[in-house]
Amino acid sequence: MKIQQIALINFRNYQNLNLRIDGLVNVFYGNNAQGKTNILESIFYSAFGMSHRTGNEDDLVKMSCRDMAAEVTFNNLYGEHKLRVKRQNICERMRKEIALDENVIRSKEHYGTLNVVMFSPEDLQIVKGEPALRRRFLDMEIAQTNRYYYGLLVKYNRVLQQRNKLLKNARENGLDIEQLDVWNNEIASVAAEIIGLRLNVLKKINRIAGDIYKEITNQKEELVVNYELKTNSSAIICSQEDSMENWREWYLARLKERQNIDVLRGSTGIGPHRDDLFITVNENNLRSFGSQGQQRSGALALKLAEMEYVKSEAGEYPVLLLDDVMSELDSERRTQILNFIDGRVQTFITVNDKNLIPELACNRYFCVREGSICEG
C-alpha cells in the first residue's frame, strides 16, 4: 500500500495543500508547532474518519473557517483509489461525508480501505498506561482487517448505552427485571462474539510480537501477551478460545451475579469494555516490574507486530506513521524500526532534527514551516 498524494483544505494550519508523494520513507522536519504532525494526522483522519489527537473534530478545522476536507490518493493491491473525508456546514449543521473514488460510503465500509498504523509517543504508553489504550490498540488492529468486528463494536456500544440507561432509571424508579433480561441477552451475545475474535487475533499477535521482542533483546527475553478478563471480584487470565455459546452463558451468569451492584452504580461493570491485556517478560508483569527500556521494547514489538498482522490479513503492509517517536527512542531502537521498514513499508516520519534519520536513496525530505512545505 502506498500513498501518492495528499490534498488538504482548511485542515489545521493548511489552507490549501496538494502534496505529491513518491518516496518510500518521507521525513517531515522543522521546528515545533509548524504543522508536521498535522500531515500525519490528515492521513490518519482519511483512513479512520477520526483524529489520533482529539475527539473533537472541530479542532481539525482551520481557524475562522467552516468547512474542511482531507483527501488521500493511494495504490493498493487492487489499483489506485481516492479517499476523501470532508466536513461542511449545511443549514447551520455540520455534516460529515466519506467518499471512496467519488462514491459516498458509510463508516463501516470506510474501515480497512486505507490501512494505516500510527506510532506516536502516546503509544509508548501501551504497556504501562491505562487499559483503554490496550483495548484501543487491539480493537483498531482487528477492525482494520475485519469490518464485521467494527460492526460488532458499534452494536456493543449501542447495547451497552441502553443497558446503562435502564440501570440508571432502575436506581431512581425500581428495576424492571424482564426488560433488564432482554438487554442482558443482547449484551452477552455481542460480547461473546467480540471476545472470540479478540482471542483468535491475540493468539497471532502474541506469536509475532514474541518473535520480534526476542530479536530486539538478542533472544535473551520472552514477551507474552495474554487476555485479562475482568470478573465481578477480580481478573482472570484467559489464554484459550471457547465456543461462542459458552462465552454467552458465562456473560449471562456474571451479569446476573452483579445485577444489584450495576443498578447501584448505574453502569455495566463487566464486559469487553472493561477487559485488558496482561503483558509479561520472562513471566514478570511488564507494566509493574519492567524497566523503562523493557517497556519501550515491548511497545515497539507490539506496534511492529501490528504491521505484520495487517500484512498477513490484507496481503500487503499498511502505511506506517511515526509521529515524533524517533526522538523518544534510543539509537538502537531507532535502528530496529528503520531496519524493519527498509525497502518494504511506506513510512511518514516527523522529526525536529532530520539528522535522526540516516540518508537513504528511498528517502524524501520535506521542510515544514508555518503550514508550508518544501521538499529538500
Q: Which three cell numbers stand for residue 162?
A: 441502553
Q: How far apart are CA 108 and CA 148, in angstroms?
A: 8
Considering its fold, how many domains does the chain have in total?
2
Same domain as 309, residue 271: yes
> Residue 299 belongs to what domain range?
124-313
State the first-to-last Cα distance of the chain, in angstroms, to the nearest integer.
Answer: 24
Same domain as 89, residue 153: no
pLDDT at 240: 65
CB 117 within 8 A of CB 318: yes
Q: Identify the CA nearest to 43 among candidates 15, 95, 8, 94.
A: 8
Helix, strand, coil percentages (3-state) for the chain, rounded to 5, are 45, 25, 25
**Residue finishing a domain among 290, 313, 336:** 313
Amino acid identity at 34? Q
**Residue finishing a domain among 313, 333, 365:** 313
DSSP secondary-structure letter at 32?
Answer: T
Same domain as 84, residue 141: no
Q: How far apart are CA 316 and CA 308, in angstroms?
A: 9
Same domain as 100, residue 29: yes
CB 300 within 8 A of CB 195: no
Q: The domain spanning residue 306 has which CATH number?
A: 1.20.1050.90
Same domain as 295, residue 335: no
Same domain as 164, residue 88: no
Q: Which three cell numbers stand for residue 31?
A: 521546528
Q: The domain spanning residue 332 has which CATH number?
A: 3.40.50.300
**pTM of the prediction?**
0.91
Same domain as 161, residue 145: yes
Tens digit of each residue's pLDDT, the chain (376 residues): 999 999 999 999 999 999 999 999 999 999 999 999 999 999 999 999 999 899 889 899 999 898 999 999 999 999 999 999 999 888 778 899 999 999 999 988 998 999 999 998 888 899 999 999 999 999 999 999 999 999 999 999 999 999 999 999 988 888 788 889 999 999 999 999 999 999 999 999 999 999 999 998 889 999 999 999 988 667 788 866 778 899 999 999 999 999 989 999 999 999 999 999 999 999 999 999 999 889 999 999 999 999 999 999 999 999 999 998 888 888 888 888 888 888 889 999 999 988 888 877 789 999 999 889 999 8
DSSP secondary-structure letter at 346?
Answer: -
pLDDT at 330: 83
Same domain as 290, residue 191: yes
Same domain as 217, residue 105: no
Same domain as 157, residue 134: yes
pLDDT at 239: 64
**Residue finishing a domain among 313, 338, 367:** 313
Same domain as 162, residue 65: no
